Amino acid sequence: DWTAESFVEQTVNHLRQKLGNDRVVMALSGGVDSTVAATLVHQAIGSNLYCIFVDNGLLRKDEFEEVLLSYQDMGLNIKGVDSKSHFYKSLAGISEPEAKRKAIGKSFIDIFDQEAHLIEEVKWLGQGTIYPDVIESVSIKGPSATIKSHHNVGGLPDFMKLKIVEPLNTLFKDEVRSVGRTLGIDEKILGRHPFPGPGLAIRILGEITPEKVSILQEVDAIFIGGLRKWNLYKDVWQAGVMLLPVQSVGVMGDERTYESVVALRAVTSVDGMTADWAHLPYEFLAEVSNDIINKVKGVNRVVYDISSKPPATIEWE
């Protein structure tokens, strides 16, 4: 019978034997999978695990700082890398969703390659790949798969010559969470909604600018904070906000405004393959909408997305 406790014990032993005194590099995302995978490797080899957490400028408000702190609290050998400007530059002028994903994937590889080179004699690349990622032959998800999908781009970065270690590649998501609990990882990380690798870039329709990112971060923080405050966060599988490339007319006092529209998106789902829009209480939506319009400069209209998947996808890009 599979138990999280025995999985942890066996995996840590196995990793210890396999890795010996070798050094391992891993990119962490703040998500469940990479965090649990890193914690297992860390238990096996300690500070020979070098973790890298990249600030791509497309994370949620304050997320980089908060997650970095919790990684440090967990005792991980973690380096935070501020690469915001690198990502923004690579995204400048790009509006097409797949082109955004490509630019982000490439920037991520650039930064990771640069950082991996700073670690002397690193032999392994650790990844938080889970079983569904393995069976999904064409995956577009997460830094790990981003790396894989770039295998055939030609001119492999040096870190691709590393051997791969993937301690979670036999597990499903719920098993990963229970392993995470056994390892004592913070519920705040384990209970997190999924968040796409390209982050807020695919929730800003059209071209990305640092100003738009910061507007969206504020709006998103009010929406997600509201879900937590109203105790609705756990009832929803994923939630986020889209910043639309649309201006609409409003009034503020005696003034006419002409500002952005945001669309709130919250869904219920099992695996993200199909999803229903979450039937959130009107009172909650009213409070969040008022908060957003009163507090976030540049937004004068809030709409709620009531489309299910299929045919609509969860993200808008």
101 binds ligand XMP (CB under 6 A): yes
146 is in an annotated binding site: no
Question: 312 exposed, middle or buried (CB, 10 Å; 0-12, 13-18, 19+)?
Answer: middle
Question: 175 exposed, middle or buried (CB, 10 Å; 0-12, 13-18, 19+)?
Answer: middle
The alpha carbon of residue 300 and the mean position of all alpha carbons in its chain are separated, in whole angstroms, by: 28
Tokens 């959130």 correspond to what residue? Answer: 280
164 binds ligand XMP (CB under 6 A): no
Rounded to whole angstroms, how far apart are CA atoms 51 and 119?
A: 10
Q: What is the nearest approach in angstroms of ligand XMP to the Cβ of residue 194? A: 4
33 is in an annotated binding site: yes
Looking at the Cβ atoms of 80 and 196, the one nearer to ligand XMP is: 196
Q: What is the nearest approach in angstroms of ligand XMP to the Cβ of residue 255? A: 37
Q: What is the nearest approach in angstroms of ligand XMP to the Cβ of residue 61? A: 18
162 binds ligand XMP (CB under 6 A): no
Backbone phi, psi, residue 146, to 5°:
-60, -40
34 is in an annotated binding site: yes
**Residue partners of 52: CB distance under 8 A and separation at least 6:** 25, 26, 27, 28, 78, 79, 81, 112, 115, 116
167 binds ligand XMP (CB under 6 A): no
Q: What is the nearest approach in angstroms of ligand XMP to the Cβ of residue 307? A: 11
Exactly one of 119, 140, 162, 232 binds ligand XMP (CB under 6 A); which one? 140
Positions in the binding site for ligand XMP (CB under 6 A) = 101, 140-142, 194, 196-198, 238, 272, 309, 313-315
Q: Which residue numbers belong to the known binding site? A: 29-35
